[in-house]
Amino acid sequence: MANLFVASEIVAMNVTEERNGYEFYKALAATAKTQKLREAARRIAEQEKRHEERFRRWLDELGEHQPTESYPGEYDAYVKALLSNTTFTDEEAARKAAEGAETDARAVEIALQMEKNTLLLLQELRKHIPEKDLKLVDETVREEEDHLVELSQLKDELQGKN
């Protein structure tokens, strides 16, 4: 399966994932009950927007690819498996999740799951790109890991676990 799925498809998924993340954090910045979460959501939203732009430029450079299948339906099954690791189906679902979170702690839990899913997608991307492009992906991975740390600390604070 490693040669079936090339970088362009996974980069396109990352564009969507980052756009959905931006929409989630933008909505969360507007609806969060605590100032600390509003500030964190604004900051992370801007980083997600930069990630989306980064991946969009890269996608333009990569162009399209038609994968070959070793059996009928292989490509669709792989795409479905990867997409099952995304948090939101689209931008609207991302906004609704932020707006509908009952508490700030719940919103942070959703954000943590989204960041973990994004990291899984980035790890998959690393398997399918030339070594010269690893720096771009690794930089994004580090930033997403920073989001996880910040959100985990914020979750502990919101739950009174200082």
pLDDT, tens digit, 9 for 90 and up, residues 117-144: 889 888 877 887 778 878 888 988 999 9
Q: List, for residues 47-59, the tens digit of each pLDDT value.
A: 999 999 998 998 8
Task: Kindly report the CATH number assigned to the domain that includes residue 111.
Answer: 1.20.1260.10
| Tokens encoding 71 | 């059996």
Q: Is residue 1 part of a domain?
A: no
- 3 or 103: which carries more pLDDT confidence? 103
Q: Is residue 33 part of a domain?
A: yes
How far is the C-alpha of 91 from the C-alpha of 113, rounded, in Å?
16
- Per the structure, the complete domain to which residue 81 belongs is given by 7-158
Position 129: which residue type?
Answer: I
Q: Is residue 2 part of a domain?
A: no
Q: Is residue 119 part of a domain?
A: yes
Domain tally, the chain: 1
Q: Is residue 100 part of a domain?
A: yes
Q: What pLDDT does 3 receive?
A: 43
Of 63, 121, 50, 64, residue with least CA distance to 88: 121
